[in-house]
């Protein structure tokens, strides 16, 4: 990433972390993931969380399947669903050091205070209108956009599977892709990360990883350059760096 210019101080974010809505299907797993994020923060990593739509988003999808919604309605409702997930995961019932915020200025202050900001994206999305009103755009794309907007070098997509699988075969461990260039990932279409996010990462030169949030130690290991089970998404200009998968990895 380019260094901050004079008069434009950096946000000081080590990594943008997309908290997948699928991680809320089991609330105990959700609590484990959030405790893991707090541990990562205590180790010195300054993370910004972008929540997925989670449970509220599933209701919107069900309504749309039965009675197709206008693009305006679906887009705005889904953005607000991300906000609702953000409010829930920052509640004391689930976490003690995560805090909801609606602006990047608030994120900056919370990071300085040693907290984990959880960005409620609707306010920024409605004000800037940066993405298409389409079901093809998910919270993965929003997280990638936030990483680019804040000049953050690392993007982690936390979901309920170990990474990106060839042909979507999540039931076959051997199909797990340990590493893929963002442009190649974009050509695969929608996987465990949405295709628009992959395209955006390729166009903006972003790199990152898709990790299973149920094993929160993997995020810390990845941030510290250790080998983990997961899928490393690299900028096509980067030299390949093997990532260990299977036995022996966390």
How do the domains of the chain map onto residue ranges? 15-234
Give me the pLDDT at residue 160, please.
93
Whether pTM exceeds 0.85: yes
Q: For residues 246 and 229, is the Cβ–Cβ distance under 8 A?
A: yes
CA 18/CA 212 separation, integer angstroms: 11
Q: What is the SS3 assignment for 108?
A: helix
Give me the pLDDT at residue 3, please.
61
pLDDT mean over 144-161: 95
In the chain the first and final C-alpha atoms are separated, in Å, by 28
Dihedral sign from CA coordinates of 242, 39, 94, 114: negative
Query: Does residue 134 surpass a pLDDT of 70?
Result: yes
Rounded mean pLDDT of the chain?
A: 91
Residue 156: name the closest of 110, 206, 202 by CA.
206
| Residue 95: partners with Cβ closer than 8 Å, 6 or more residues away | 31, 34, 35, 37, 38, 89, 116
| Sheet containing 47-51: order of strands | 98-101, 116-119, 47-51, 15-19, 154-159, 207-212, 231-234, 179-181
CA 18/CA 49 separation, integer angstroms: 6
Q: For residues 21 and 53, is the Cβ–Cβ distance under 8 A?
A: yes
Q: pLDDT tens for residues 45-101?
A: 999 999 999 999 999 999 999 999 999 999 999 999 999 999 999 999 999 999 999
| Residue 8: partners with Cβ closer than 8 Å, 6 or more residues away | none
Share of the chain above pLDDT 70, in %: 93
**How is residue 93 written in tokens?**
């019932």
| Residue 242: partners with Cβ closer than 8 Å, 6 or more residues away | 178, 179, 227
pLDDT mean over 115-120: 98
Q: Decide which of 3.40.1690.10, 3.30.530.20, 3.40.50.1000, 3.40.1160.10 is the CATH code for 15-234.
A: 3.40.1160.10
Query: Does residue 184 surpass a pLDDT of 50?
Result: yes
Q: pLDDT tens for residues 4-34?
A: 677 888 999 999 999 999 999 999 999 999 9
Helix 71-89 and helix 54-66, axial crossing angle in degrees, nearest 10: 160
CA 220/CA 228 separation, integer angstroms: 10
Query: Does residue 247 surpass a pLDDT of 90?
Result: no
Give me the pLDDT at residue 190, please.
83
Helix 139-149 and helix 195-204, axial crossing angle in degrees, nearest 10: 20
In DSSP notation, 119-177 reads E-THHHHHHH--S-SSTT--HHHHHHHHHHHTT-SEEEEEESSSS-BGGG-TT-GGGB-
């Amino acid at each position: 990433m380019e260094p901050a210019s004079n008069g434009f101080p950096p946000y000081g974010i080590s990594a943008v972390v997309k908290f997948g809505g699928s991680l809320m299907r089991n609330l105990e797993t959700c609590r484990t993931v959030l405790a893991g994020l707090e541990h990562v923060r205590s180790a010195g990593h300054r993370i910004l969380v972008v929540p997925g739509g989670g449970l509220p988003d599933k209701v919107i999808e069900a309504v749309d399947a039965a009675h197709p919604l206008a693009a305006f309605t679906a887009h705005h409702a889904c953005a607000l669903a991300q906000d609702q997930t953000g409010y829930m995961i920052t509640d004391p019932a689930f976490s003690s050091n995560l805090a909801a915020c609606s602006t990047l200025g608030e994120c900056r202050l919370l990071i300085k205070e040693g907290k984990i900001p959880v960005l409620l994206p609707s306010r920024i999305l409605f004000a800037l209108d940066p993405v298409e009103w389409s079901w093809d755009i998910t919270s993965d794309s929003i997280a990638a956009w936030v990483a680019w907007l804040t000049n953050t070098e690392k993007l982690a997509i936390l979901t309920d599977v170990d990474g990106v699988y060839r042909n979507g075969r999540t039931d076959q461990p051997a199909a797990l892709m340990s590493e893929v260039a963002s442009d190649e990932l974009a050509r695969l279409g929608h996987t465990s990360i949405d295709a628009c996010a992959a395209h955006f990462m390729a166009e903006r030169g972003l790199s990152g990883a898709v990790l299973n949030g149920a094993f929160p130690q993997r995020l810390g290991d990845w941030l510290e350059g250790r080998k983990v089970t997961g899928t490393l998404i690299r900028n096509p200009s980067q030299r390949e760096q093997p990532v260990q998968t299977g036995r022996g990895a966390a």
